[in-house]
């Protein structure tokens, strides 16, 4: 078989692709309005995650910690959660949603966060905060399984399971975006608006590209409200763009409330965006307007300009969140490129069942490795040992040192991308994303041609 799906063989991780499960739950929680999550663990479980969010979005986010110390780690620390909830509610009178996010330490010692939520609901909330709307949601994200990707998936399901309420049909579409950037949300909303679809965009983070206003600084908050989450049970359909980020929430709505559901494909590239629009049409009955046909044409024209001369045959390594990596690989193949190495940073046992991976295995005509539970050393090792020759790397900023060390051009894409300005503003999804991706890859290669004096004269004549 030309395309092999295999786990990393070496024990131990050198330069991980992902961070841990609680990070995903924290990302989901900052997508909710009037929500501050309490991470039940050591302070570092919040501090380093907040740091990555802030580095990536260049914004500030509010997340709290129960700040477990030695005594709690030995004798149990649920008391810290009780104190943390009380302090948080006192300090922030507008907060309505408080997820209690567990970590490796508090899962190992067996702290009962579901029990403490029940206790607080019966006690503190009724006694001290009577009349105030407060929702405590227990989210289990031990870091010794999964990754930030599965943490996001689990948390979004738990929020939806907590809030979704069947009442009257609302005629809206549920759109789970998965772990995306503000630019992606904007591009998706544009496609929905062109099709005149009324949608609830869930765990909506467009406002993470926050303005600096005359009255002072602005703390970024997500746009998803409690009413949005309650209404998901009354929608005409659910579209989850990512198989590994939000499919659990979508499946919950399908199972519990019979909401018609389509999961994927991630709308990266022309082909997947076409399918996305067809899925929108299938769920809502709305036609695809001429304006989007034209937008598609503009993107294809731009892609054609750079594909044959510059992108074709280029060998690429891609790492990051699995839906992003697979979507990018599909888009690269459509642009005649050769994604020879895909690194998926966790050990999800279901990657082998992914129809997109099966399609890659059935159809590609060049050698490709897909490594699960991968770290960035899997990339560097292959380069160092001369096992692959790469023209381009696609991935987040954590792989920048490999690019620098081995002089391989790299386009930053995914999360986090902190060493380039404003990338969170550019979409990779939709026709706008397909166009940006093709041109950004081409421009990365152009800069490399000039820097290495490698046929850079072609650019004079192109």
Q: What is the DSSP string of 179-203?
A: S--HHHHHHHHHHHHHTT--EEEES
- Measured between alpha carbons, how far is 445 from 32 in angstroms, rounded to an integer? 39
Pick the stretch among 99-107, 201-209, 261-269, 354-362 that binds ligand SF4 (CB under 6 A): 99-107
Locus of tokens 């990707």: 149
Is 20 near ligand SF4 (CB under 6 A)?
Answer: yes
For ligand SF4, give the closer residue by CB, 28 or 104: 104
Is 22 near ligand SF4 (CB under 6 A)?
Answer: yes
Is 72 near ligand SF4 (CB under 6 A)?
Answer: no
Q: Give the CA distances from residue 50 to residues 59, 60, 117, 262, 361, in Å, rounded to whole numbers and listed in that order.
A: 10, 8, 24, 32, 38
Which residues are registered as beta bridge partners of 351? none
Is 104 near ligand SF4 (CB under 6 A)?
Answer: yes
- Count Cβ atoms below 10 Å from residue 365 Cβ, excluding itself: 9
Is 113 near ligand SF4 (CB under 6 A)?
Answer: no
- Give the residue at shortest CB distance from ligand SF4: 45
Nearest approach in angstroms of CB 105 to ligand SF4 is: 6
- Measured between alpha carbons, how far is 229 from 231 in angstroms, rounded to an integer? 5
Pick the stretch among 42-50, 219-227, 324-332, 354-362 that binds ligand SF4 (CB under 6 A): 42-50
Nearest approach in angstroms of CB 41 to ligand SF4 is: 5
Dihedral angle over CA of 400, 402, 403, 406, nearest 10: 160
| Residues 227 and 200: beta-carbon distance below 8 Å | no
Number of residues that bind ligand SF4 (CB under 6 A): 10
Q: What is the DSSP string of 122-133?
A: HTHHHHTSTTS-
Nearest approach in angstroms of CB 20 to ligand SF4 is: 3
Read off the DSSP letter of residue 35: B
| Residues 343 and 315: beta-carbon distance below 8 Å | no
Backbone dihedral angles phi then psi of residue 198, each to the nearest 5 degrees:
-85, 110
Nearest approach in angstroms of CB 26 to ligand SF4 is: 10
For ligand SF4, give the closer residue by CB, 106 or 261: 106
Pick the stretch among 5-13, 38-46, 404-412, 434-442 that binds ligand SF4 (CB under 6 A): 38-46
Dihedral angle over CA of 304, 270, 203, 416, nearest 10: -40
| Secondary structure (3-state) at 400 | helix
Nearest approach in angstroms of CB 54 to ligand SF4 is: 16
Is 24 near ligand SF4 (CB under 6 A)?
Answer: no
For ligand SF4, give the closer residue by CB, 41 or 427: 41
Q: Judged by CB under 6 A, which of 103, 261, 266, 373 binds ligand SF4?
A: 103
For ligand SF4, give the closer residue by CB, 93 or 110: 110
For ligand SF4, give the closer residue by CB, 42 or 222: 42
Is 26 near ligand SF4 (CB under 6 A)?
Answer: no
Burial 151-185 (b: 16+ CB within 10 A, else e): bbbbbbbbbbebbbeeeeebebbbbbbbbbbbbbb
Pick the stretch among 103-111, 315-323, 371-379, 447-455 that binds ligand SF4 (CB under 6 A): 103-111
Q: Judged by CB under 6 A, which of 24, 31, 37, 41 binds ligand SF4?
A: 41
The closest alpha carbon to 240, from 223, 253, 257, belongs to 253
Cα 29 vs. chain centroid, distance in angstroms? 13
What share of residues in the chain are helix, strand, coil (percent, to 5)?
Answer: 50, 15, 35
For ligand SF4, give the closer residue by CB, 198 or 347: 347
Pick the stretch among 58-66, 101-109, 116-124, 290-298 that binds ligand SF4 (CB under 6 A): 101-109
- Measured between alpha carbons, how far is 187 from 193 in angstroms, rounded to an integer? 10
**140-169: which residues touch ligand SF4 (CB under 6 A)?**
143
Nearest approach in angstroms of CB 250 to ligand SF4 is: 26
- Measured between alpha carbons, how far is 240 from 248 in angstroms, rounded to an integer? 9
- Measured between alpha carbons, how far is 415 from 345 in angstroms, rounded to an integer? 13
Is 268 near ligand SF4 (CB under 6 A)?
Answer: no
Is 45 near ligand SF4 (CB under 6 A)?
Answer: yes
For ligand SF4, give the closer residue by CB, 40 or 135: 40
For ligand SF4, give the closer residue by CB, 20 or 154: 20
Tell me the pairing of strands 410-412 and 392-395. parallel
Nearest approach in angstroms of CB 146 to ligand SF4 is: 11
For ligand SF4, give the closer residue by CB, 104 or 316: 104
- Measured between alpha carbons, how far is 24 from 321 in angstroms, rounded to an integer? 11
Nearest approach in angstroms of CB 376 to ligand SF4 is: 17
**Residue numbers at the binding site for ligand SF4 (CB under 6 A):** 20, 22, 41-42, 44-45, 103-105, 143
């Amino acid at each position: 078989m030309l395309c092999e799906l295999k786990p990393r063989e070496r024990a131990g991780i050198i330069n991980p692709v992902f961070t841990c499960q609680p990070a995903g739950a924290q990302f989901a929680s900052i997508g909710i309005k009037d929500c501050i999550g309490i991470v039940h663990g050591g302070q570092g479980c919040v501090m380093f995650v907040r740091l990555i969010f802030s580095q990536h979005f260049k914004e500030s986010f509010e997340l709290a910690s129960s700040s477990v110390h030695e005594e709690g780690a030995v004798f149990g620390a649920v008391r810290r959660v009780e104190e943390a909830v009380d302090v948080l509610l006192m300090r922030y009178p507008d907060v309505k949603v408080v997820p209690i996010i567990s970590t490796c330490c508090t899962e190992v010692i067996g702290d009962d966060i579901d029990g403490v939520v029940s206790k607080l609901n019966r006690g503190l909330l009724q006694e001290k905060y009577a009349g105030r709307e407060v929702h405590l949601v227990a989210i289990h994200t031990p870091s010794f399984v999964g990754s930030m990707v599965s943490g996001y998936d689990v948390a979004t399901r738990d929020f939806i399971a907590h809030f979704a309420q069947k009442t009257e049909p609302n005629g809206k579409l549920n759109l789970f975006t998965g772990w995306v950037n503000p630019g992606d949300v904007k591009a998706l909303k544009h496609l929905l608006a062109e099709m005149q679809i009324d949608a609830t965009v869930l765990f909506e983070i467009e406002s993470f590209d926050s303005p600096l206003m005359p009255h002072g600084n602005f703390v970024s908050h997500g746009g998803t409200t409690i009413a949005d989450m309650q209404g998901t049970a009354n929608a005409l359909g659910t579209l989850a763009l990512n198989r590994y980020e939000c499919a659990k929430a979508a499946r919950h709505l399908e199972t519990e409330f019979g909401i018609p559901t389509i999961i994927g494909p991630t709308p990266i590239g022309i082909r997947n965006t076409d399918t996305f629009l067809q899925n929108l049409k299938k769920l809502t009955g709305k036609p695809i307007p001429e304006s989007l046909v034209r937008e598609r044409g503009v993107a294809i024209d731009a892609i054609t300009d750079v594909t044959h001369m510059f992108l074709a045959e280029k060998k690429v390594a891609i790492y990051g969140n699995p839906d992003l990596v697979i979507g990018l690989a599909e888009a690269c193949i459509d642009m005649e490129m050769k994604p020879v190495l895909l690194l998926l940073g966790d050990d999800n046992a279901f990657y082998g069942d992914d129809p997109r991976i099966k399609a890659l295995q059935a159809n590609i005509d060049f050698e490709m490795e897909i490594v699960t539970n991968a770290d960035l050393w899997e990339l560097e090792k292959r380069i160092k040992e001369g096992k692959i020759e790469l023209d381009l790397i696609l991935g987040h900023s954590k792989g920048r040192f490999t690019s620098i060390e081995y002089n391989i051009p790299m386009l930053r894409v995914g999360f986090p991308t902190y060493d380039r300005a404003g990338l969170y503003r550019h979409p990779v999804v939709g026709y706008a994303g397909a166009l940006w991706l093709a041109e950004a890859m081409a421009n990365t290669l152009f800069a490399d041609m000039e820097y290495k004096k490698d046929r850079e004269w072609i650019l004079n004549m192109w």
